[in-house]
Structure 1
Amino acid sequence: MSRYALLVSPSANRVYARSVSALTVAELAVLAETALAGRLGEARPENVAGVEYVTFDGDLDARGLAHVANVSTAFALFERTPDDAFRPVALERLDAFDDDLLSILKYAGKTNELFTKLLLNVTVLASGSAARMLTDRLRVLDPLCGRGTTLNQTLMYGWHASGIDVDSADFETYAAFLPRWLKDKRLKHTATTAKLRREGRTLGRRFDVELATSKQAWADGDTITVSTALTDTREASEVFKAASFDVVVTDAPYGVQHGSRSGGGLQRRPRELLAESLPGWVRLLRPGGAVGIALNVRTCPRDDALAMLTDAGLEPRDTTAYRGFEHRVDQAIQRDLVVAVNPV
Structure 2
Amino acid sequence: MTEHLMLLAPSGNRVYAADAPRLAAAELRALTVGFGLAEPDVLTTCIAGVDYLSLRTGDELTSWEVRVLSQLSAAYALYRREGDLLAPVALQHPDRYPSDLVTIQKYQGKTNEQWTRLLLNVTAAATATPDRLLDGTLRVLDPMCGRGTTLNIALSLGLDVTGVDLDSKDFQAYSAFIKTWMRQHRLKHSADESSLRTDGRGRGRQLRIEVAASKDDHKAGRTQRVIYLSTDTTDLDGLIRPRSVDVIVTDTPYGVQHGSHGDRLARSPLDLLDRALPEWVRTLRTGGAVGLSYNRHVAPRDELAALLVTHGLTLVDGDPDAFRHRVDASIDRDLLVARKGR
TM-score above 0.5, yes or no? yes
Q: Distance in 1 between matches of 2:48 and 2:177?
A: 43
Match runs of 1:185-224 below 5 Å: 185-224=185-224
Residue matched to 1:331? 329
Residue matched to 2:111? 111
Cα drift, residue 197 of structure 1: 1.0
Contact 1:154 1:160 in 2 (8 A): yes
Match runs of 1:164-183 below 5 Å: 164-183=164-183
Residue matched to 1:319? 318
Residue matched to 1:35? 35
Q: Distance in 1 between matches of 2:98 and 2:8?
A: 19
Q: Distance in 2 between matches of 1:101 and 1:23?
A: 23
The one-letter code sitting in structure 2 at the alignment partner of 1:53 is: Y
Cα drift, residue 267 of structure 1: 4.9
Cα drift, residue 219 of structure 1: 2.1
1:28-60 residue CA offsets vs partner (Å, 9 max, x unmatched): 11122221432x313111122222111112342
Cα drift, residue 129 of structure 1: 2.4
Match runs of 1:49-88 below 5 Å: 49-58=48-57, 59=59, 60-81=61-82, 83-88=83-88
**Which stretches in structure 1 are left out of the alignment for 5+ residues?**
259-263
Residue matched to 2:231? 231
For these two proteins, the number of residue pairs brought into alignment is 336
Contact 1:143 1:236 in 2 (8 A): no
Relative distance call for 1:230 and 1:268 in structure 2 (3 A) is farther
The one-letter code sitting in structure 2 at the alignment partner of 1:85 is: L
The one-letter code sitting in structure 1 at the alignment partner of 2:230 is: L
What SS does the aligned partner of 1:134 have?
helix
**Which stretches in structure 2 are left out of the alignment for 5+ residues?**
none
Match runs of 1:93-172 below 5 Å: 93-172=93-172
Q: 57-66 vs 277-286, which deviates more? A: 57-66
Cα drift, residue 268 of structure 1: 5.7
Q: Distance in 1 between matches of 2:299 and 2:268?
A: 9
What SS does the aligned partner of 2:135 have?
coil
Contact 1:235 1:280 in 2 (8 A): yes
What SS does the aligned partner of 1:25 have?
helix
1:188-231 residue CA offsets vs partner (Å, 9 max, x unmatched): 11111111112221111111101111122222222100001111
Relative distance call for 1:343 and 1:73 in structure 2 (3 A) is same
Q: Distance in 1 between matches of 2:170 and 2:96?
A: 24
Would you identify which runs of 4 or more consecutive aligned residues in structure 1 move more than 4 Å? Answer: 264-268
Contact 1:127 1:290 in 2 (8 A): yes
Relative distance call for 1:265 and 1:104 in structure 2 (3 A) is closer
Relative distance call for 1:190 and 1:256 in structure 2 (3 A) is same
Q: Distance in 2 between matches of 1:98 and 1:287?
A: 33
What SS does the aligned partner of 2:205 have?
strand
Contact 2:136 2:157 in 1 (8 A): no
TM-score, normalising length from structure 2? 0.94
Q: Distance in 1 between matches of 2:13 and 2:123?
A: 23
The one-letter code sitting in structure 1 at the alignment partner of 2:323 is: F
Relative distance call for 1:309 and 1:152 in structure 2 (3 A) is same
The one-letter code sitting in structure 2 at the alignment partner of 1:273 is: L
What SS does the aligned partner of 2:171 have?
helix
Cα drift, residue 304 of structure 1: 1.2
Q: Distance in 2 between matches of 1:63 and 1:117?
A: 20
The one-letter code sitting in structure 1 at the alignment partner of 2:49 is: G
Q: Distance in 1 between matches of 2:265 and 2:166?
A: 9
Residue matched to 2:277? 278
What SS does the aligned partner of 2:187 have?
coil
Q: 85-94 vs 54-63, which deviates more? A: 54-63
TM-score, normalising length from structure 1? 0.94
Residue matched to 1:253? 253
Residue matched to 2:24? 24
Relative distance call for 1:23 and 1:44 in structure 2 (3 A) is same
1:240-293 residue CA offsets vs partner (Å, 9 max, x unmatched): 1111111000000001359xxxxx986563111111111110100011111000
Contact 2:140 2:249 in 1 (8 A): yes
1:66-93 residue CA offsets vs partner (Å, 9 max, x unmatched): 1111101111111112x24211111111
Q: Distance in 1 between matches of 2:318 and 2:63?
A: 27
The one-letter code sitting in structure 2 at the alignment partner of 1:70 is: Q
The one-letter code sitting in structure 1 at the alignment partner of 2:19 is: S
What SS does the aligned partner of 2:334 have?
strand
